[in-house]
Amino acid sequence: MARTLATYISLPGTAAEAMQHWQEVFGGELSIMTYDDVTLGAMPFDPPEGAVAHAWLEFPGGLIAASDVVDDKTYPVRGTAYSMLLSTDTAQESRGYIAKLIEGGGSEGMPLEKAPWGGWYGQVFDRFGVMWSFSSDED
């Protein structure tokens, strides 16, 4: 297997909805496995019915994996310490993804504009609180 770096995100019970939304935005092949679908034997937790054990979305240029948080801890999703960075062929392609994320209930974080390094850069928070950054070297 070739070495691949993928993003894995744990969501507070919204993993299936988020992954389906991201498939609508970015395309690709989506697989979702719930804890109901697998037999793992004794687990140190009791997952809620329908909770996502593992989901993955493969789309051109990327792989996102996710699951639902199944413990009683609170994990913040929205923040500025991280973002999902997608480099696109053109700024227009970035604008298209940004528009889809905003139309899906997201909000603009930083408009897509010429960046000091010469390319284009912008940010949007999707409706799940995940920050998406987009960059392109071309108009």
Q: What is the average pLDDT across 84-105?
A: 96
Domain span holding position 47: 7-68
Which pLDDT does position 120 carry in this prediction?
97
Which pLDDT does position 2 carry in this prediction?
65
Taking every pair of C-alpha atoms in the chain, what is the biggest distance, in angstroms?
54
Which pLDDT does position 1 carry in this prediction?
54
pTM of the shown model: 0.88
Element housing 106 (H / E): none
Which pLDDT does position 123 carry in this prediction?
96
Q: Do the beta carbons of residue 128 and residue 107 sit within 8 Å?
A: no
- Helix 15-26 to helix 91-103 angle (10° resolution) is 140
How many structural domains comprise the chain? 2
Per-residue pLDDT reduced to its tens digit, 78-90: 876 788 999 999 9
- Reduced to 3 states (helix: H, G, I; strand: E, B; else coil), residue 108 is strand
59 and 96: one domain?
no
* E strand residue ranges, 5-87: 7-11, 29-34, 52-59, 62-68, 84-87
% of the chain beyond a pLDDT of 70: 94
Residue 101: which CATH number?
Answer: 3.10.180.10
> Where is the domain boundary, 28, 44, 68?
68
Residue keyed to tokens 């070495």: 3
97 and 53: one domain?
no
CB atoms within 10 A of CB 26: 19
More confident residue, 15 or 82: 15
Q: What is the total residue count of the chain?
A: 139
How is residue 127 written in tokens? Answer: 């409706």
Per-residue pLDDT reduced to its tens digit, 21-43: 999 999 999 999 999 888 766 67
Instruction: Enumerate the H helices of the chain as residue ranges.
Output: 15-26, 91-103
The pLDDT-based confidence of 73 (bands split at 50, 70, 90) is confident
Which pLDDT does position 96 carry in this prediction?
97
- Reduced to 3 states (helix: H, G, I; strand: E, B; else coil), residue 56 is strand
58 and 22: one domain?
yes
93 and 130: one domain?
yes
Separation CA 24–CA 28 (nearest Å): 9
13 and 43: one domain?
yes
**16 in a domain, yes or no?**
yes
